Structure 1
Amino acid sequence: MKRVPLVYLASYALSLLGNSIAAVALPLIVLQTTGSVLSAGILSAATAVPAFVAGLVMGVVIDRINRRTSSVITDLISAASLAALPLVDLVTGLNLGWFILFGVIGAVGDVPGMTAREAILPAIVRNGGISAERLMGVRESLGALVMVIGPAAAGSLLVLFDGSMVLWITAGTSSVAAMLTLLIPRDVGTIPAGTGAATSSGREQLREGWRVLFRGDRFLLAVTVLNLVLVTVIVSLQGIVLPVHFTLLDRPEMLGFVLTALAAGTLVGGGLYAGLGTRGSRRAWFTTGMLGTAVGVGVISALPPMWVVFAGAFTLGLSSGLFGSLLGVLMIERIPDAVRGRVMGTQNSLMMITGPVGILAAALIGHLGGPAAAGATMGVVWAVTVLVALRVPALRTLDAQGARDAQDTKDVRDAQDVRDAQDVRDTAREVTARAQR
């Protein structure tokens, strides 16, 4: 693997690790500082809306400036928002207001940062000498690895150090991620000429991105809905259904093992796709991933004996690793580069709100009928979604689109080869003419 994709993947992993540690450590630090459970909830609610809005608005910016620059700036904003907290603590002391202020500032970096890293993926593929399948498979596996390491690292750091030091360390991971991104050549992040949107207003550019997503390519809309439903189901299972179920069994610690099994499955699934994703038909990969997630969700939602839940979690992770990697490749190919930041920004912003909505829905169902009813509801929702997705016309032509993309790439290369050959012949004729003179 060449330097560009290696640097990108290392930066991606460190940025994700910082966010993962902060997601666990920051609420605990707020609780230790304020002594109020309500304060942690207020902080989460206060930063959710700014994160959603930032994801939408910053997509316009990402479509106008160098995407490597966007990634660096967003990582530095995230780092600064965390590093500012211990500094304020030294000067005046921290209270809930300071946590909310810097939480809102950090929200400006988190979702846009995710979008910037996704928007630059096609350029990493073009300049890195790596297939999109391999890049997305490795990226999916790294994400799964961070799912395991991040919470464990947060817990260990809070045991070893005080809250201020943990915040410094977390800010350091985002800073190092930004420095690594700077090692990627600047021209890799350059928006191709003719695709930028610098003439129309920001509002019109935002609307253009929404039109592409919601009224343009039906594939993009279908995949967006599919991802939103899957996120809702998984977050509901791991955020409400399983915690309540294990608490009733007096085994709350089992949730951690289930999440580890899920991450291990995703790690394996991403690895398999990285190695084998270019073989076989995309439709076969898609069908396998979808049916596998249906089996995994179905097993977990039934709340069977403990070891069966572990097997279901591993199956779900394995299948979502395949499914997620494939969708990443298709997103690289299908989203027009001119609106990539806006489309992905909208998708990521919507992901931010589907999780809380899913948890609320599962909590209401669980309150009325218990965790079994909530689990069954999520299982049925995803089973119906899978059946519909396998029949949607926009999701049945994956191989045809892949063939067109491959042919387009070949045509471009052939045209370039013809131009190069013509240049060689012209140069040879010029040299011969000069020699004769």
Structure 2
Amino acid sequence: MNRVSLAYLASYVLSMLGNSIAGVALPLLVLQITGSALATGAVAVASALPAAVAGLLMGVVIDRINRRTASILTDVVSALSVAALPLVDTAVGLSVGWFVLFAVIGSFGDVPGLTAREAMIPGIASAGRIGAERLIGLREALGALVMLAGPAAAGTLMVVFDGSTVLWITAGTSAAAAAVTLLIPKQAGAITPGTGQVLMRDGWRTLVRSPFLVATTIVSMSMVVVMSGFQALVLPVHFTTEGRPELLGFVLTALAAGMLAGGGVYAALGGRGRRRTWFTVGLVITVAGFTTMATLAAPWVVFGAAALVGFGLGLFGSLMGVLMIERIPDDRRGRVAGVQNAVLTLAPALGMGGAAVLTEQSGAGVAAAVLAAVWLVTGALSLWARPLRDLEPRTALAVGATAT
């Protein structure tokens, strides 16, 4: 690795760390200021749809300007939206409305920032003299580290400092991500010139006309639905019912540790062997993990199942990232990734909503079984689906071509 790839990975970690801290600190601050759990939920819900819309709109921008520039701008937006909160608190005091307003503004930094970094991967791999498998595997492993460290850092900061200081620190991580991105040469974010106008509908058209992209988007959405259902509802309800709510944190730790190991293995070995083998192994491991988790057996069984899921995701997610940069035309990568990320932003609501209905009517055990069955069916169909049979390397797609 050289300076380019190190700068990319460092900016990715800093940006994710800021989002991770904000994801824990902001709900706690809303709860402290308003004393209302409903208000806390309202802020989260109010920002979900704008985040999806922002992903779609900014996909067009990312395909029009240098992706390095887009990445910097989105981190600056994230930093400013958080830094505005303590300023408003000092001036007039915070209310739910202010949290909602800046959550909406911040949504134009979070999902688009992820899209910009994804679109920049081919340029980083070339300028950084690093294989895509290694780069994406390292990125997935570092993302798992942030999953481990972020919530703990947020909790520690909330104990040590007041809310305003925590917000300044959170904004500082996003600002630092923008600053580190400046170390990446502009040519790494350059766009391959396309033909015609850059229109939002081209992202949808490219996706829906490609059986491969449709299949991978459905698989990814299914994973998010199942994971969010387990993580945000089934397991919290189960451990609360068992009188051990603190065990949920250990499940998340096991999941992140598994992802760290899986991403590390793919970074080291992903360039060897057939991709279909990696795909199959990742799917089978995640199916085994979710099926075991659905038993809601002894805590150590659930922990082990979470680690299995994480390991499979580390392999599977890294491979999907490599395939995306190969199968999407460079001049449309921002718009296609924007559509995919917008869909995945809304997917957790489906998982949590469905799990909530099942848990309320039939109990956590039934909800867990249904979620595991959803992923079992998804895995089986993925192994059978024709668009996902040929996953071997291809030359870069021509501008305007459609992945198959």
Other-structure match for 2:71: 71
Correspondent of 1:233 among 206, 226, 231: 226
Q: Deviations over 1:362-418 (max 9, x none)?
A: 01001111000000000111101101100111110112xx1x42999xxxxxxxxxx
Query: TM-score, structure 2 length as denominator?
Result: 0.97
Correspondent of 2:395 among 396, 405, 416: 405
**Does the aligned pair in 1 maintain the 2:327–2:397 contact within 8 Å?**
no
Q: Deviations over 1:55-101 (max 9, x none)?
A: 00110000000000000000000000000110111111111111111
Provide the C-alpha distance between the structure 2 equivalents of 1:259 and 1:355, rounded to a whole number of angstroms.
16
TM-superposed CA distance for 1:3, in Å, is 0.8
Provide the C-alpha distance between the structure 1 equivalents of 2:46 and 2:347, rounded to a whole number of angstroms.
16
Letter in 2 for 1:180: V
Provide the C-alpha distance between the structure 2 equivalents of 1:133 and 1:242, rounded to a whole number of angstroms.
33
Provide the C-alpha distance between the structure 1 equivalents of 2:368 and 2:103, rounded to a whole number of angstroms.
33
Letter in 2 for 1:283: R
Other-structure match for 1:173: 173
Provide the C-alpha distance between the structure 1 equivalents of 2:303 and 2:86, rounded to a whole number of angstroms.
40
Which deviates the most, 368-377 or 98-107? 98-107
Other-structure match for 1:294: 287
**Does the aligned pair in 1 maintain the 2:137–2:318 contact within 8 Å?**
yes
TM-superposed CA distance for 1:35, in Å, is 1.8
The answer to whether residue 210 in structure 2 is matched with residue 209 in structure 1 is no
Letter in 2 for 1:25: A
Provide the C-alpha distance between the structure 2 equivalents of 1:405 and 1:92, rounded to a whole number of angstroms.
57
Q: Which runs of 4+ in 1 moved over 3 A?
A: none
Distance 1:138 1:357, change over 3 A: same
Other-structure match for 1:271: 264
Provide the C-alpha distance between the structure 2 equivalents of 1:181 and 1:261, rounded to a whole number of angstroms.
31
Other-structure match for 1:435: none
Provide the C-alpha distance between the structure 2 equivalents of 1:103 and 1:307, rounded to a whole number of angstroms.
37
- Alignment partner of 1:229: what SS? helix
Provide the C-alpha distance between the structure 1 equivalents of 2:271 and 2:42, rounded to a whole number of angstroms.
46
Pairing 1:50-65 to 2, within 5 Å after superposition: 50-65=50-65
Other-structure match for 2:18: 18
Other-structure match for 2:187: 187
Distance 1:30 1:52, change over 3 A: same
Count of aligned pairs? 398
The answer to whether residue 21 in structure 2 is matched with residue 5 in structure 1 is no
Other-structure match for 2:89: 89
Correspondent of 1:387 among 367, 380, 385: 380
Other-structure match for 1:164: 164
Provide the C-alpha distance between the structure 1 equivalents of 2:104 and 2:391, rounded to a whole number of angstroms.
39
Provide the C-alpha distance between the structure 2 equivalents of 1:210 and 1:122, rounded to a whole number of angstroms.
21
Q: Deviations over 1:189-210 (max 9, x none)?
A: 1112x32x6x53x6xx111110
Provide the C-alpha distance between the structure 1 equivalents of 2:221 and 2:104, rounded to a whole number of angstroms.
24
Provide the C-alpha distance between the structure 2 equivalents of 1:165 and 1:121, rounded to a whole number of angstroms.
34
Other-structure match for 1:80: 80
Other-structure match for 1:308: 301
Letter in 2 for 1:327: M
TM-superposed CA distance for 1:275, in Å, is 0.4
**Does the aligned pair in 1 maintain the 2:228–2:348 contact within 8 Å?**
yes
5+ residue gaps, structure 1, are 409-437
Provide the C-alpha distance between the structure 2 equivalents of 1:51 and 1:406, rounded to a whole number of angstroms.
30
Provide the C-alpha distance between the structure 1 equivalents of 2:295 and 2:18, rounded to a whole number of angstroms.
34
TM-superposed CA distance for 1:38, in Å, is 1.4
Other-structure match for 2:43: 43
Provide the C-alpha distance between the structure 2 equivalents of 1:406 and 1:336, rounded to a whole number of angstroms.
8
Provide the C-alpha distance between the structure 2 equivalents of 1:237 and 1:100, rounded to a whole number of angstroms.
27
Other-structure match for 1:356: 349
TM-superposed CA distance for 1:148, in Å, is 0.7
What is the root-mean-square deviation in Å for CA atoms of aligned residues? 1.3
- Larger helix proportion of the pair: 1
Provide the C-alpha distance between the structure 1 equivalents of 2:233 and 2:315, rounded to a whole number of angstroms.
25
TM-superposed CA distance for 1:8, in Å, is 0.2
Provide the C-alpha distance between the structure 2 equivalents of 1:118 and 1:213, rounded to a whole number of angstroms.
16
Provide the C-alpha distance between the structure 2 equivalents of 1:381 and 1:295, rounded to a whole number of angstroms.
13
Provide the C-alpha distance between the structure 2 equivalents of 1:387 and 1:50, rounded to a whole number of angstroms.
34
Provide the C-alpha distance between the structure 2 equivalents of 1:85 and 1:110, rounded to a whole number of angstroms.
17
- Between structure 1 and structure 2, the one with the greater Rg is 1
Provide the C-alpha distance between the structure 1 equivalents of 2:294 and 2:328, rounded to a whole number of angstroms.
34
The answer to whether residue 34 in structure 2 is matched with residue 34 in structure 1 is yes
Provide the C-alpha distance between the structure 2 equivalents of 1:26 and 1:321, rounded to a whole number of angstroms.
28
Other-structure match for 2:401: none
- Alignment partner of 2:244: what SS? coil
5+ residue gaps, structure 2, are 399-404
TM-superposed CA distance for 1:36, in Å, is 1.6
Which deviates the most, 61-70 or 37-46? 37-46
Distance 1:37 1:239, change over 3 A: same
Letter in 2 for 1:322: L
Other-structure match for 1:144: 144
Provide the C-alpha distance between the structure 2 equivalents of 1:99 and 1:140, rounded to a whole number of angstroms.
30
Other-structure match for 2:366: 373
Other-structure match for 1:426: none
TM-superposed CA distance for 1:253, in Å, is 0.5
- Alignment partner of 2:245: what SS? coil
Letter in 2 for 1:244: V
Query: TM-score, structure 1 length as denominator?
Result: 0.90
Letter in 1 for 2:222: V
Correspondent of 1:341 among 334, 338, 344: 334
